[in-house]
A and B are shown apart, each in its own frame.
Chain A
């Protein structure tokens, strides 16, 4: 079975400082991993994805994540936070353990950006 753990329910940073949102996963197969962002009362938008190609993945809005198999991690980073980055972020793992790709969502991390 697959699972995903987002280690922080809230992360608070100042504008212009680095962002680190942590995600650890468990999977018996070669997983696909995703980070989605959700602004209030909106659907989810894909930030980036790992699908067994390059382990360092670059996404939209300056975000990137590194797939580390030895650490079973897929942490999301950004060098400099903007006010517009304040939102809910979800780490998602998806593999074929159930016979087809059914995603499992982390609980979410709320990113707070202070001026």
Chain B
């Protein structure tokens, strides 16, 4: 199957700093990637859809100036949490669709390993 790599797996930062999380598709080109946030013991909440070469589409209630998403290439999308505060502490997960006919017509997603952000 397709491989999605997410980095860093864990990050601890001070309040007010910015943190960048990378999501890479290792063996395929991902025109679309998704960013999720997961609170403890809860399901995944879609934050935004990242499209290569264009602006991300944010879900209602997600601050686009707080969570900057850049999808500059077909294999890399980044999520930057700007001026992070303790309430931004969470588990962030990216996923990607494989745009080949075998996968694209089913909606199957491949997930990164997630990034645990702790803001002190």
Interface string of A60-93 (1 = CB under 8 A from B): 0000000000000000000000000000001010
Interface residues of A (CB under 8 A from B): 32, 34, 36, 41-46, 49, 51, 90, 92, 94-95, 101-103, 105-108, 110
A90 and B114 form a contact (CB under 8 A)? no
Interface residues of B (CB under 8 A from A): 1, 4, 6, 41-44, 46, 49, 91, 93, 95, 97, 104-114, 116
Shortest distance from the beta carbon of B120 to any chain A beta carbon, whole Å = 19
- Cβ 8 A contact of B107, one of A44, A103, A110: A103
A43 and B107 form a contact (CB under 8 A)? no
A108 and B43 form a contact (CB under 8 A)? yes
Q: List 24 A-B contacts (CB under 8 A).
A: A32-B106, A36-B111, A41-B114, A41-B116, A42-B113, A43-B6, A43-B111, A44-B44, A44-B93, A49-B106, A51-B105, A51-B106, A51-B108, A90-B43, A90-B44, A92-B109, A94-B106, A101-B104, A101-B106, A102-B46, A103-B107, A106-B43, A107-B42, A108-B42
